[in-house]
Each structure stands twice: as C-alpha cells, then as structure tokens.
Structure 1
Amino acid sequence: MKKVFGILFVAGMVAFASCTSATEATEDAAAAVDSAATAVDSAATAVVDSAATVVDSAAAAVK
C-alpha cells in the first residue's frame, strides 16, 4: 500500500511540474501589454495637451 501511495505521489508531482512551463508565452504577453500601455499613455498625453491649449486660448479670448 505504501508503494501505491508513493507511485501516485510521484505521478502527481510529475503532472504538476509539467504544467508550469509557460514562461516564454508569459514574457511575450507582458511585452505586448507594456507596449500597449505606452501607446495609450502617449495618446492620453496628446489629448490632455490639446485640451489644455483650447482652454488656454478660450481664457485668453475672455480676458
């Protein structure tokens, strides 16, 4: 009975160890997310800058 539990334990450990080898795909996905975040950040900065220009020109027209 001890041998059966030992074999099942080893088989379970091999099964769990074989499921965790996805590091390359994870790194590629992280790089894609980082580049997308950079693009969104630069686009948001452009929108904020153009909105600030409109507000500044409207404030100058009122004065």
Structure 2
Amino acid sequence: MSKKISMLLIAAALGLTTVTLSACGDNDGPAEEAGENIDNAADNASDAADDAADNVSDAADDAADSTEDAADDTADELDDATDNN
C-alpha cells in the first residue's frame, strides 16, 4: 500500500511541476509587456543620449581644430608681415 501512495505522490509532484512550468511560457500579461516596453524605451533613450554626446564631442573637436588652424594661419601671416619690414 505504501508503494501505491509513493507512486501517487510522485505522479502528483510531476503533474504539479508540469503545470508550474507551463505557466512560465511566453504568455506575458499586460504588466510584463508594459515593463518590457519601458525597458526598451529606456535603452533607446540611453542610446540616443550616447549618440548625441558623441556628436557634441565631435563638433567640439572640429571647432577646436578649426580655431587652432585659424590661429596658426594668423601667426604665419603676422610672421610674414613682420619679416618683410
């Protein structure tokens, strides 16, 4: 008799495990989907902020290079003007 009870307990445990695992499927509820949408939006916003920061950094580098070039050109012109006199 105890063998039958053991078998019934094992069968019940397997059945409960099957039901539990089937509940973990891809059937997300509205709260889970909303959470995923929020996560995706946060990731997209972070990526956009990183891209904007990169663009600002590139523009600042370009402006610094242009300013340096202009200063060098001005120095060269001043040197040329003072050398000729």
Q: TM-score, normalised by structure 1?
A: 0.71
- Structure 1: which 5+ residue stretches go unaligned? none
Structure 2: which 5+ runs fail to align? 70-85
Distance 2:53 2:14 in 1: 53
Structure 2 Cα separation of the partners of residues 26 and 3 of structure 1: 42
Give the structure 2 partner of residue 38 of structure 1.
44
Deviations 1:21-43 (A, max 9, x none): 35325444332221111110011
How far did 1:20 drift? 5.4
Q: Where does residue 49 of structure 1 map in the other structure? A: 55
- How many residues end up aligned between the 2 structures? 63
Instruction: Report the aligned-residue RMSD.
Output: 2.3
Q: 1:28 to 1:13 in 2, by over 3 A?
A: farther
> Residue in 2 aligned with 1:18?
20
Shift of 1:18: 3.0
* Letter matched to residue 43 of structure 1: A
Could you list the structure 1 runs, at least 4 aligned residues long, displaced by more than 6 angstroms after superposition.
none
Distance 1:27 1:9, change over 3 A: farther
